[in-house]
Chains A and B, each alone.
Chain A
């Protein structure tokens, strides 16, 4: 089955600086890579996703890059703000045809220092 590795487990950055979280996956058939933000006691919220036919996607301060050859994808948050503090999870799945659930990374606790 799929295995998703995520690094770092904790990331502390100064407010206004950029944060980068990296993930690798093992199953070359995976084609959908979402990123979720989870606040304490709540369900995960999708912040951005990318599919394997695209190398990069951006939404305001958030961007995701995908390298299919190397099987890794990264989340980039620029101009970080205190409200960005949360746990972020990357995930991977195979879309289309079957009904596969998501395989999640172990999460990154992002701390924005004021």
Chain B
């Protein structure tokens, strides 16, 4: 149980275009989802917390107008990288909390974004 499906797994886009990444909870409802970014050989850094039916909360230094988050249902959160640039190339990973407390977090398989 507690599976999070993330798509696409890999995407290559041209500089200046936008890319949407989807994160779905398959067998549970996720009121809150989290988006992380991981650069090569580095750790996962929390970008934003996605809340169903309300605005996302962004970590310091993360541009909310560049990384648009939509959490329109209890099973789907999307991250759109707008006007992508080569420096946005990274591994993006979503996560969902399982239950309101005490059940940990489950992660998607990640999306490798390459901006050329």
Interface pair B43/A107, CB less than 8 Å apart: yes
- Tally chain B residues at the interface, Cβ within 8 Å: 27
Cβ-based interface call for B106 (8 A)? yes
| Residues of chain A whose beta carbon lies under 8 Å from any beta carbon of chain B | 32, 34, 36, 41-46, 49, 51, 89, 93, 95-97, 99-107
Query: When each residue 75-116 of chain B gets 1 if its CB lies under 8 Å from chain A and 0 otherwise, what string results?
Result: 000000000000000010101010011101111111010000
Docked Cα-Cα span, A95 to B97, in Å, equals: 10
Interface pair A44/B107, CB less than 8 Å apart: yes
Cβ-based interface call for B19 (8 A)? no
Q: What's the least CB distance linking A79 to chain B, in Å?
A: 25
Task: Specify the main secondary structure of chain B where it touches its partner.
Answer: strand
**Which A residues are in CB contact (< 8 Å) with B109?**
42-43
Closest 3 CB pairs of A and B: A99-B32, A101-B46, A101-B34
Cβ-based interface call for B25 (8 A)? no
In chain B, positions 58-81 with a C-beta closer than 8 Å to chain A are none
**Which B residues are in CB contact (< 8 Å) with A97?**
101
Interface pair A44/B93, CB less than 8 Å apart: yes
**Which B residues are in CB contact (< 8 Å) with A93?**
105
**Which residue from chain A places its CB closest to the CB of B44 in the assembled complex?**
A104
**Which residue from chain B places its CB closest to the CB of A34 in the assembled complex?**
B104
Residue of B32, B46, B91, B93 near A103 (CB, 8 A) is: B46
Interface pair A42/B43, CB less than 8 Å apart: no
Residue of A32, A34, A43, A45 near B6 (CB, 8 A) is: A43
